[in-house]
Amino acid sequence: MSERITTPFGFETTALEVVEGVDLSGRRAVVTGGASGIGVETVRALAAAGAEVTIAARDVEAGERVAATLAEATGNKAIFVAPLELTSQDSVKQFARSWDGPLHLLINNAGVMATPLTRTPEGWELQFATNHFGHFTLTLGLFDALRAEGARVVNVSSAGHLASPVVFDDLHFERREYDRWQAYGQSKTANVLFGVEAGRRWASEGITMNALMPGGILTALQRHITPEELQERIRLRGGDKPLKLKTPEQGAATTLVLAVSPLVEGRSGLYFEDCNEALPHTAGMTDGLAAYAADPEAAAQLWKVSEETLKVQA
């Protein structure tokens, strides 16, 4: 077993602090959901370090406003916007087909949380369809661009993965009662397992994939939660002491560690919290990595099910 990775950064580190002194000139990045929340701060930090960044956004107009603001703030005019609707396989495949040239950083940042039971036209549960299926198709569709230069893929997961493993015999809540937190949890577990299997399959291609928990941050991600429920979730997450929330700038920091730090060079299948590799989850705690999210057999099964469902391969 490899030694646990620790970095000089921690809970209060911001994304801009992570990229301080880092030169990403000549590097190209895609950030899904880059028009809101921690996605904006991820784009800001990458652009500040000199990368060419494409914001992949459902709301193109919002993306263009963010791109203009960040171009002025960073002095980097190479911030672009392209449409991407993760719940639409056609939209995802169109984005991948339209990509030209190499891609060095793919930040699978977009997501939904705790939505009421909603199904896509295919009958897929919305959270799994968005958080995992959409990013699975996107990443495999960009495989050749990523392979051309060697690349890092970063999946924004969550401590919410502790709520559920991937339930393969009922992924879309067709037989069990829908629980929006379990649905969210299994989609976030899938984000971690994706990297575990990618590491096995793609090591020789020079592509790495890792996942992270950004922290507790108040953004539009919580739009499906009442203020009362949100406060209760914060209380439960905090345990015996109040949960300390992060700013979006701090929430994006762990993403940037996985995207640029030399300490994770060549490593895949990892899960980070507060800018450092997470410890195994222990009962009664609200952090750490669940054993089922690091299970190579579950990772292989998820990949197989995803390929068969989505009819995509790389």
DSSP class per residue in the chain: -PPPP--S--TT--HHHHHTT---TT-EEEEETTTSHHHHHHHHHHHHTT-EEEEEESSHHHHHHHHHHHHHHHS---EEEEE--TT-HHHHHHHHHH--S---EEEE-----SPPS-B-TTS-BHHHIIIIIIHHHHHHHTHHHHHHH-EEEEEE--GGGGG----GGGTT-SSSPP-HHHHHHHHHHHHHHHHHHHHHHHGGGTEEEEEEE---B-SGGGTTS-HHHHHHHHHHHHTTSPPPPB-HHHHTHHHHHHHH-GGGTT--S-EEETTEEPPBP-TT-S-SB-GGGG-HHHHHHHHHHHHHHHT---
Helices 37-48 and 253-260: crossing angle in degrees, nearest 10, is 40
Distance of CA 15 to the CA centre of its chain: 15
What does the alpha-carbon distance between residue 299 and residue 149 come to, in Å, rounded to a whole number?
25
Question: Amino acid letter at 229?
Answer: E
Which of the residues are catalytic?
184
Instruction: Assess contact for 9 and 257: CB atoms under 8 A.
Output: yes
Tokens 């345990």 sit at which residue?
239
